[in-house]
Structures are given as structure tokens and as C-alpha cells.
Structure 1
Amino acid sequence: MSERGAGGAGGGAHGDGPAVVWFRDDLRVADNPALRAAADSGRPVLCVYVWDDRSPEVRAPGGAARWWLHHSLHSLAERLEAMGATLTIRRGPAEQVIGGLLRETGTAAVYWNRRYGSERRIDERIKTAAREGGVEASSFGANLLFEPWTIRTGQGGPFSVYTPFWRACLAAPAPRKPVAAPARLTPASRIDGEELEALGLLPTHPDWAGGLRETWQPGERAAHEQLRRFLADDVAAYADDRDLPGVDATSRLSPRLRWGELSPHQLWHASATARDRSNAKGVSTFQSELGWREFAYHTLYEHPDMATVNIHRRYDAFPWPRLHPAALHAWQRGRTGIPLVDAGMRELWHSGVMHNRVRMVTASFLIKNLLVDWRHGEQWFWDTLVDADPANNPFNWQWVAGSGADAAPYFRVFNPELQREKFDRQGDYVRRWVPEWDTPDYPEPIVDLAETRRAALAAFDVVKSARTAD
């Protein structure tokens, strides 16, 4: 089932009612087509966020992501207040909440920006019910550069390999320009809602978010400042330095994209505008990373269950051994005795992010050296990453596992010691997060890397011989 198109049915008796803007993963006022459409309708605007952790189609955010969500919603509410509107928060299954809200307020129109996983089934049902009730219901492309149904192979199907996918994207019409934020909103009558604090998104007993507060300032204004800083100071070296975890060379924009404080259209056009002779390579590399995000979301559109189901079903035959909780716990807490793995896992626990190169190494170690099902790692990242989203997180775990789209072959096992020697040669990254490294207090490795690599490849022989069709 697809949730496409921006058309809507006229209002009838609802013609004088407000226009509802339903915010989800688009917590911004600039380049927000749904908000812009509501403002341009000339109707009073009612801005709504629904905390839905009950609908089976919705994957509730993990703990670190909930922390970010709380602060980003607070920032959004302040921006809307400055424009004359109020952010109303309600909780419950979105289909029931939005349906009830439309009846309660005599809504003339409801606008939202599209989602691409299983949540789009909810959106489609709400759109159908609204139109049947005489309410205009319109959705917009806001969070991808290219809609999934517009980038297809010559045979009309989805791409399964990144390079031809991105080539097709670059050959397509250019991504639209960002739309301006409304200067002013005409507020609808206030209605009852939840206090943000009542959602319980912040950790309290215990409050483990000190590292997140130290590292991040969520919100749209902070996101734009980070984008400006990256393009002014860092993008020129991005292509060469982004693989070095000890160097502050990444964009640090991933949680901004995940929560929609910035749109990919803003990033695309801002980077294109900033391109010059000195940074052309860095800008191209940065834009190709936006392309990898697009590929993940296009894959989610085709495989909305990819957080739990192998994209290539022959991997269902992989003989995962019985889980050893002690080994999983050592990996989660950065106590494996493998310096680069431990550094990455401790960075994650403290800051809610992990350097991308190290994400691949830690994932490979869990899957191929500890022989732990990739789903356990995906779930841990889902709970501890501030940028965990329903596309990138499972997509990248399946890529490392070998079961996903354009996946690294299973026999590609990242050796964490060789990776450390190549990308953290001076040990700056490891020493920052594992200060006891190279001291008697540092534990011995919990596994032998060479021996466990051989065991992983032996287990993969079962997959190679499986006859299960993809």
C-alpha cells in the first residue's frame, strides 16, 4: 500500500474549519510543505503532535531518541509560538487520535509530510476516512530528495544496488528547492492537549542523559547553526577525513535529519551553493551520503519489516548459536578487550552517536566474531542512538550482516585491530573513550579474532547451500 499524492477532497460543511498540520519526523518550520500548505490555505492553523507508542505499525523510539524528541518538540513549540500558533500534543494510536481530532474541531483540511515504512498504512487509512468525511487530506514529500516510486529500474522495479540507484537519482529532475517558513500563522482555537513533560520521554530514575546534554543541543536553530559551521569549516576535508574517528570531521547532522530539524532538500541545496573549487570533492562525498540515506529509505519502502526480517531470505537459514548474554553484555558496555570496539560502544553510551566507520566495525564484531544475530545489535542501537531511524538503522545492520540490499558479502569481516591501525593510527580515538587501554586494568579479548572469523565463515556455508528463494 502506498501513501502518495497531495490531492484532497473539498470541505463541504467543514469549509470554515481549521487546517490541521500533523507533525511527525519533521520538527521544523522551514521547508515544511505541510505547514506551508496550511498557512497558504488562509484557514486558522492547528499544529498537532501525536505520541503514538501503541499502534502496531509504529516503532516507538528508543531511550536516547526519546530524549532528543522531547527537546526537539520543545524547540518546535517555541518556534510555532513565535509565529502565532500553538503545538498541541496528544497521545494514543494516531488513527484514533487524528480521527477524533478532525471530528472535534470541524477540521476543513489535514496536512502531513509522508512516511515510508509500515506507518504509511496508518496515513492511508486516515486519508481515506478524512476524505470520506468531506475533509481535505493532503500529504507531501518533505523528508526524501526523491520519492520511492519515482526512482525505478528500466524494468520498473526498485534498485537493489546503490551505485546504479544513485546514478538514476542524479539523472532525475533535481530535488526541489526548500520552501520558506510562513511569516505568520493564524491560530485556531486552543484545544486540550498533553503537557510535553507528561509524555515521560526524559530519563529520570536514573537520569543517564548527562552525556547527551553535554554533546547536543536539539532544535531547528541549532541544526541550522551546525549546518552553517560544517559547510564553512569542515566540508573541504570531509572526503579525506570522515573515516578517521579521532578527527572531528563528520557533519554531525544525522540526528537533525532523523528528527527533521533539517530537510535533505535544505542540505542538498545549501551544500551545492557552498561548493567551490576547494571543497568540490567534499561536497560530492557529502551529497553521496545523502544518497545512501535515500537508498535506505527506498529499501524501507519496499521492505517495511526490515528491522526484523532478512531482505535476502536465504539468510533465514543462518545457524545462529545459542545467545551468550555475557558476551552480548560485554559488547554493549564496551568491555570486550578489543580497543576500537570498546571505544565505539562507550562513545555510543555517552553521546548517543558513534563514528560511522566504527559503527561498521562494532556491528561486524558482534555478528561475525561473537556470532550474535544482527537483530540484537540493531535493537541496542535503536535504544542508544539519538539518530536511530526506521530506515538507516536496520538497513545498515543488514548491510553488515550480508542479508541486506547491496550488502557487504558475509565473508567480509572487519578486523577491528587492522581497522584501528589504519584509521586510528595514533590511538587518539581509543584513548579518549578507553583511557585504561594499554594498562594492566584493560581486559583480555573475550574472543580470538582469527578463530571466530573461521567459525563465522563455516556457519556461512549453510547459507550458501540454502535453497530458500529471496
Structure 2
Amino acid sequence: MSAAICWFRRDLRLTDNPALAAAARDGRAVIPVYIHAPAEAEGWAPGGASNWWLHHSLEALTAALAARGLPLVIRAGDSLLVLQALVEATGADAVHWNRLYDPAFIRRDMAIKQALRDQGVAAHSHNASLLNEPWTVQTGTGSDYKAFTPFWRACRRQGEPPEPEPAPTLPAASAGIRALPGASGLDEAGHEPLQALQLLPGVDWAASLRDRWIPGEAGAGEQLETFLNNDGLAHYATRRDQPAVAGTSRLSPHLHFGEIGPRQVWQAVQHRLAGDSDADSREGADRFLAEIGWREFAHHVLYHHPDFPEQPLNPRFADFPWQEDPDGALLTAWQRGETGIPLVDAGMRELYATGWMHNRVRMVVGSFLVKNLRLPWQAGEAWFWDTLVDADLASNSLGWQWVAGSGADAAPYFRIFNPVRQSERFDPRGDYIARWVPTLAALPPKHRHAPWEAPESVLADHGVTLGQHYPHPIVDLKASRQAALAAFEQIKKPAES
């Protein structure tokens, strides 16, 4: 029996998986493999939260394949060498995988495809993670888009995405294929134990992550159904900005690891709308699908500007006069949620506890770091990379350059979020603050947003002493805003002269 290798990467699902379907076509034996090669990410190896998620997602994939009579072959090492060894050991004549769009992986995959083909092995890549691949959406002049709205309009003009494919029938591998020879350290079937990848933290800080997330394809489906069944579309346009309520889908980590694909999300939304003529649902659906579009835009920008994660897209910002933080005290206070600005601290504590942060709050904490503290956006990007379960190179880079004012379709640098006004507007009672900064929960709601403005008598009556129970603000919001605008003027002048 001929065999084909399906190389899983960030497509950890069986449904709507083009590489898996292609490998299984014509009743071929399928050899599913996952290769752990963090060094091949060239400086962007997954952070701690991502590794925790990956471990549990691989567990779920292993179980799903085992239920169909197939083992997931797990190996660590150089991807090309591992694939070549598996080809030799199994006699496989084809390797299929789904494309990734991180610059390092594009280079790696092109080299692997050529090397396999040179030795007579069919090597094919497929699209499983995007509605429209980055090179398929162009302006009228054939260039890439720098602004989201025209990009998304161009995407919509390409029509509805293809229907997602069901999970393929997977013929069980033959005994000869199941027993793979390997080096010491592999189990009796030649598989690397998942635990050997050491993805889980040595110190168990992930208890709160386990309480809030179910990694894996089944968990992704449950999350989508929960969102849709709780009238998520009908209320999305308003609730999406309210951090104290469950108004967003929370699908981002599932999409990043490919436990669900955008075509599946798109189809589920359309099916829900087919039986719902409510205007709010249709408006919410448009807003929600535009978030899928924003994810597409992030990959579009990264593909066309591969240095985007490190360098500002607007070159003027390369000379921005960032503030000195020699002992790292400002950055540390921000990371720990100890800035004395309640909405910022609530967001940073939610991030550390759950590996996730509400999108509105992401913008606020990003603006505070880059503009009020005037620290480089790359520092925030690195912290999010390590602590977010949905850390995605394209989306993380786009978000940070957006808030910094230096990226594609970015917010103007002079747009500086006021965390107090944002909190008062989108969380009037301060419920989000009370949840994540419990010291302030005893205060009357109107004083939770800016406790330094509360009368001393109110603070005393509710057992809050600033500087003891909760920090004083590490920066004056008004003065730091003016300093940020003055700094921006310094990089504007050369371009205007």
C-alpha cells in the first residue's frame, strides 16, 4: 500500500484540513507527524503560554487520530531530516502540509519542498488557515494593501469562501508503517513521547489557564457554539467593547493553532444568519466577520513586509525618542499590573492569569506602554508573545504597530487612549477592575476608575490606602500625554522639512 505523510504544524484538526484530505485521497495510508523544531522559528519560538496550549492541543489531536486507528508520530529535530528519515523508513512517496506565513517558515518550507522533490518525493502545500492567501489580494496597481477597509472590501469582492470539508476517512496504517524505527528515547513504535518535548512549565503556573480553556478541535467547536448560542451575534456590536462581559468569541487561540479554520467559522455564522432576520444579528455578524478579516490583513501585511515584527513600517518611527528605563522599573510595573492605573492593571493581571486579554483593553494597555510610559512597542510585543495563548506573529505585530502609530492602517500616534475615560465609558461600574484588582472592589464604582481622585475619606472608609494597598500612579496621565506628543513632533519635523 502506498503511503503519504501529513505534516501537522498549526493545523491541529481533522475537519477542513486540506493537507490531511490530500494525504488520505485514493485510500492511501496516512502517516500523521508533528515535528517540534522551535529553533526554525528564527527568534520567534513560541512562548510559555503558547507551549502550554500546544501540549494540550497535541494531546487532543493524538486522541482524535487514535480513535481512527492512527498514531501521531511526534519527533523533535530538524524538520527536513525528520521527514527524510520517515520517508526512508515508511516508503512514503508524498508529503503534504498546510502553509504557514511567518517569514522564517516560508523560507524553511520552500527549501524542504525543493529537497523532497529533488529526491523524488511529491511535496505539496495547501491553504488551511486563511480565507484569502496574502498574494491573492492586490490593489488595482498590483501592490499590497496598507489599510484594512479597502483590503477587506477587496476580499469580499472575491466572493464567499469555499465550504469547509468534512474530516476524511483515514485508512489505518499497515503494521509495517506503524512500527517506525528510531533512536533511543523513542517508544516501542518509534514515537517521541509528547512529554519529552517539555512544553509544560516546570513550575505549575497554568492552573488558571486550565480552568478557562479547552485546547483542541473539540474545544474550538464548543467555544464557537457557545458564542453563537448565547446570542453572540445579536449583541456583538455593543458587547465586543465591554471587558466585563463575555461579548467576544474567544476563538483567537483556537484559530492560531488551527483547531478550527476561518472557513468553518464563516460557514457557522452564515448558517446562523439563515434562520435569523434580526438586524442586530446581521450587524453583529458583519462586525464579527470583519475581525476574521483583520486577522487576514495581519497575514497580508506580514507576508509583504517580513521585517514587520521588528521594524516599524513607517520608517520615521525608527528614530522615535523612547524614554530611558535603565533598571526596567517602568516595564516591570506594567508587566505585573502595578502601574496604579486600574484599567491597565486589570488587563495585565487578566493576561497573566488567563493567557488572554480583552481586545479593547489590549489597545489601552498598549497605548499606555508606548505613549504614557514611552517605552518601545517591541517590549510590549515580546511580553505578549510569551504570555498570550493566542500569540500570533502576524496579529501581534499588527496590533502593536497599530497602537504605536507606526504600522499599517495604524491609529495616529497622537491618538492616546485615556485609560480612565475608556474604563468609565466601557465598564461604567468598574466591574472588570473589581474582578482583576480586588483591592479596589470595595470602593464605590465611580471611584474604581481613578482612585487617586477619590476623597481621602472615601478611601479610608473602604480600607484602601494608596501606596500600601494599591500603588500610586507611576506616571501622570496628562503630563505623559504631553511628553508623548512632544516626542512625536521630533520625528515629524524631518519629514516635513
- TM-score, normalization: structure 2? 0.89
C-alpha offsets along residues 335-382 of structure 1, whole Å, 9 cap, x if unaligned?
000000000000000000000000000000000011110001000000
Query: 1:300 is paired with a residue of what secondary structure?
Result: helix
Conservation of the 8 A alpha-carbon contact between 1:52 and 1:58:
no
Pairing 1:323-342 to 2, within 5 Å after superposition: 323-324=325-326, 325-342=328-345
Match of 2:114 among 128, 134, 143: 128
Please identify the structure whose Cα radius of gyration is greater: 2
Match in the other structure for 2:460: none
Conservation of the 8 A alpha-carbon contact between 2:2 and 2:29:
yes
Match of 2:304 among 298, 302, 305: 302
Code of the residue aligned with 1:231 in structure 2: it is L
Conservation of the 8 A alpha-carbon contact between 1:176 and 1:265:
yes
Query: 1:48 is paired with a residue of what secondary structure?
Result: strand
Cα distance in 2 between the residues matched to 1:47 and 1:462: 55
Match in the other structure for 2:223: 226
Alpha-carbon offset, residue 48 of structure 1: 0.6
Identity of paired residues, percent? 53
Match in the other structure for 2:277: 277
Match in the other structure for 1:463: 491
Question: Which of structures 1 and 2 has the larger relative contact order (alpha carbons within 8 angstroms, sep 6+)?
Answer: 1
Code of the residue aligned with 2:477 in structure 1: it is L
Match in the other structure for 2:244: 246
Match in the other structure for 1:394: 397
Cα distance in 1 between the residues matched to 2:248 and 2:411: 22
C-alpha offsets along residues 364-408 of structure 1, whole Å, 9 cap, x if unaligned?
000001111000100000000000011111110011001110000
Query: 1:107 is paired with a residue of what secondary structure?
Result: coil
Pairing 1:411-430 to 2, within 5 Å after superposition: 411-430=414-433
Match in the other structure for 1:79: 64
Structure 1: gaps spanning 5 or more residues? 1-15
C-alpha offsets along residues 439-461 of structure 1, whole Å, 9 cap, x if unaligned?
22111100000111111111112
Code of the residue aligned with 1:317 in structure 2: it is D
- TM-score, normalization: structure 1? 0.94
Pairing 1:7-406 to 2, within 5 Å after superposition: 17-55=2-40, 57=42, 59-118=44-103, 119-187=105-173, 189-190=177-178, 191=180, 192-204=190-202, 206-233=203-230, 234-275=232-273, 276-278=276-278, 279-324=281-326, 325-406=328-409
Match of 1:450 among 478, 482, 489: 478
C-alpha offsets along residues 92-120 of structure 1, whole Å, 9 cap, x if unaligned?
23233223333333321000001112111
C-alpha offsets along residues 125-168 of structure 1, whole Å, 9 cap, x if unaligned?
11111111111111111100001111100000111000000000
More displaced stretch, 304-313 vs 131-140? 304-313
Conservation of the 8 A alpha-carbon contact between 2:337 and 2:345:
yes
Q: 1:70 to 1:217 in 2, by over 3 A?
A: same
C-alpha offsets along residues 23-46 of structure 1, whole Å, 9 cap, x if unaligned?
111000000000011111422111
Code of the residue aligned with 2:324 in structure 1: it is R
Code of the residue aligned with 1:327 in structure 2: it is L
More displaced stretch, 431-440 vs 140-149? 431-440
Cα distance in 2 between the residues matched to 1:464 and 1:142: 42
Alpha-carbon offset, residue 56 of structure 1: 5.1
Alpha-carbon offset, residue 462 of structure 1: 2.3
Conservation of the 8 A alpha-carbon contact between 1:331 and 1:342:
yes
Code of the residue aligned with 1:377 in structure 2: it is G
Query: 1:230 is paired with a residue of what secondary structure?
Result: helix
Alpha-carbon offset, residue 321 of structure 1: 2.7
Code of the residue aligned with 2:492 in structure 1: it is K
Alpha-carbon offset, residue 184 of structure 1: 3.0
Cα distance in 1 between the residues matched to 2:488 and 2:153: 32
Conservation of the 8 A alpha-carbon contact between 1:341 and 1:361:
yes
Structure 2: gaps spanning 5 or more residues? 181-189, 444-463
Code of the residue aligned with 1:269 in structure 2: it is Q
Conservation of the 8 A alpha-carbon contact between 2:351 and 2:357:
yes
